[in-house]
Amino acid sequence: MLISLECLGLHLKFIPKLSMMDKKDNEFATKLELPEDCALGSVTDDDKRLLRKIDRKILPIMFLTYFLQMIDKISINYANVMGLQTDLGMHGNDFSWLATAFFIAYAVAEIPQGALLQRFPVSKVLGANVFCWGIILCCSSAAQNFSGMLALRILLGLMEAVIAPSLTMYTSMWYTRAESTPRYGFWYCGLGVGQIIGGLISFAAQHAPANLSFGGWRIMFVVIGAVNISVSLLVLFVLPETPTKAKFLTEEEKQRVFERLNQDQAGVGEKVFRWRSVLEALADLQTWLLVLLTILITIPSGVITTFSSILIKGFGYNSKESALLNMPSGIVSIVSTMVSTYAIAKGFSRWLAIDLLLLPTLAGSCLMSFLPASNKGGCLAGIYLVNTTVAPLALIYAWTGANFKGYTMKVSGAAIISAGFSVANIIGPQTFQAKDAPRYIPAKITLVAVNAAAIVISTSLRLMYGRRNKKADQLGVPARSSMEARMANKGGVQDVHDDENFRYVY
């Protein structure tokens, strides 16, 4: 529900603290109250201009950070077909452990990274991590053995754990719940673009002269690391900490951002740590269903990210061909993400979009698992179809931003779900065992099973959200979990999610 910008400035008194704010931001937010005669309605032309202005300033940088962390992840995939294992003297399941160690560190780091996001501005925490992982990637080019590369991948996992919680929180600072979903989709498309650009980088690096002591995969790591360092400066010095500190917005526009979030119950709340909200997140069935759904849909995504080049090479292609043939996977990722998030922005159900996206993933898993390797076209089609599984993760991030309430609960929920993402990526690589090469049938069958289970969990979430909303309508209270209801009955600090109009989106 929105109001025209002309209503602003008539009555200035009080507005709830809805965006990610420090004490100075809170003082700013106490200035605004809108008169009763300002009717609420559809998005105005002024709002559309404001959104375009915000989009131009922050979305490209958010996209770049997600794009680069995807490039970082798949760089090890491309390095593998460029001679990494031979150069470092790796054997057996060493390569699988490189992928696994990265995500073990990724999962462990979610708690300290969440604490940093609670204590410091999101953009500064994100920028510092991007700078650090750029340095680590450059150092990866100097690795001389498996142990050295393993240590660097662990450090990289510790740094990259910040990406999903930080971008989820940052998006929630600027947009209503309906508007945020396509924005999640936009920066999440960095994953698909990373697959495409990564293939080109690998293809180009493989043309480095064979007699160079500094091999093609080493050159690739230096180039990617240098770009990360450059983008970190944009995040640190160009991306605003909060809407109130955005130099590109006028005072009236800053006020408008706050009011739009207020009307939508989309704000992230005052930036104050509350144990109550941590307990609510941990005790909420929603959290663990989303974690389980994340694990089930990420296992195929993680497998494809790390092993797609190996699988394609196993169909009888050389390393250069494998790099180029992996690029259409990125196109599938982008199209599925943008179509699904746009459909949701137009009112399509989130849970149904996830279920529909998982159907081609399931079909692709079956093609990969049961077609003979001699059927190259069918096996390639299977790999490409499996890439639709990346789109539901963007919708889960959007669900987290929309259905977790208040700053602390959003940080906690995002961190727990990101840990689930890590767990899935730990499981996925371990399904690829050296003894199963070159077809890796057990791993492919795993993809079929987890996709079918994901459809069941997504549908369960829809039923749970619907039941909670119906109960809230009957009682005239906010939609919430049983733990939230018990905490509210005990009294205490009122938070943004105590608004009786709050309802879950699904």
- Environment class of residue 73 by beta-carbon count within 10 Å: exposed (0-12), middle (13-18) or buried (19+)? buried
Question: Which token pair is 380?
Answer: 């390639």
* Res 43: pLDDT: 67
Q: Does any domain span residue 506?
A: no
Q: Does any domain span residue 298?
A: yes
CA angle at 460 for the pair 299 and 177, rounded to the nearest 5°: 85
The C-alpha R_g of the chain, in whole angstroms, comes to: 23
User: Within this chain, do residues 2 and 129 fall inside the same structural domain, yes or no?
Assistant: no
User: Within this chain, do residues 104 and 187 fall inside the same structural domain, yes or no?
Assistant: yes
Q: Does any domain span residue 262?
A: no
Q: Does any domain span residue 253?
A: no
- What type of residue is 148? G
Question: Which token pair is 117?
Answer: 């996001």
Q: Does any domain span residue 347?
A: yes
Q: What is the C-alpha separation between 243 and 91, in angstroms, rounded?
A: 51
User: Within this chain, do residues 16 and 125 fall inside the same structural domain, yes or no?
Assistant: no
As beta bridge partners, residue 78 has: none
Q: Residue 280's closest CA among 479, 147, 116?
A: 479
* Res 274: pLDDT: 72
Are 105 and 152 contacting, i.e. CB atoms less than 8 angstroms apart?
no
For the chain, residues with pLDDT lower than 50 are 1-41, 493-497
Q: Does any domain span residue 54?
A: yes
Q: Does any domain span residue 258?
A: no
User: Within this chain, do residues 208 and 355 fall inside the same structural domain, yes or no?
Assistant: yes
Q: What is the C-alpha separation between 487 and 485, in angstroms, rounded?
A: 5
Contacts of 85 (CB under 8 A, 6+ apart): 91, 94, 95
Residue 387: CATH number of its domain: 1.20.1250.20
Reduced to 3 states (helix: H, G, I; strand: E, B; else coil), residue 2 is: strand
As beta bridge partners, residue 21 has: 270
Q: What is the C-alpha separation between 462 and 349, in angstroms, rounded?
A: 9
Q: How far is CA 167 from CA 66, 172, 395, 402, 487, in A?
A: 9, 9, 13, 13, 29
Q: How far is CA 487 from CA 276, 280, 312, 364, 481, in A?
A: 7, 8, 53, 45, 10
Burial 428-453 (b: 16+ CB within 10 A, else e): bbebbeeeeeebbeebbbbbbebbeb
User: Within this chain, do residues 48 and 38 fall inside the same structural domain, yes or no?
Assistant: no
Q: Does any domain span residue 161?
A: yes
User: Within this chain, do residues 326 and 416 fall inside the same structural domain, yes or no?
Assistant: yes
Reduced to 3 states (helix: H, G, I; strand: E, B; else coil), residue 347 is: coil
Gap between the terminal Cα atoms of the chain: 18
User: Within this chain, do residues 198 and 326 fall inside the same structural domain, yes or no?
Assistant: yes
Q: What is the C-alpha separation between 234 and 250, in angstroms, rounded?
A: 21
Are 11 and 33 contacting, i.e. CB atoms less than 8 angstroms apart?
yes
Q: Residue 173's closest CA among 110, 104, 244, 222?
A: 244
User: Within this chain, do residues 409 and 485 fall inside the same structural domain, yes or no?
Assistant: yes
User: Within this chain, do residues 14 and 94 fall inside the same structural domain, yes or no?
Assistant: no
Structural domain count, the chain: 2
User: Within this chain, do residues 324 and 190 fall inside the same structural domain, yes or no?
Assistant: yes
User: Within this chain, do residues 36 and 144 fall inside the same structural domain, yes or no?
Assistant: no
* Res 136: pLDDT: 93
Chain mean position to CA 134: 19
Are 159 and 297 contacting, i.e. CB atoms less than 8 angstroms apart?
no
User: Within this chain, do residues 28 and 164 fall inside the same structural domain, yes or no?
Assistant: no
- The secondary structure element, H or E, covering residue 3 is strand 2-3
As beta bridge partners, residue 355 has: none
- Which residue segment(s) compose the domain that 318 sits in? 43-243+273-498
Q: What is the 3-state secondary structure (H, E, C) of 361-409?
A: HHHHHHHHHHCCCCCHHHHHHHHHHHHHHHHHHHHHHHHHHHHCCCHHH
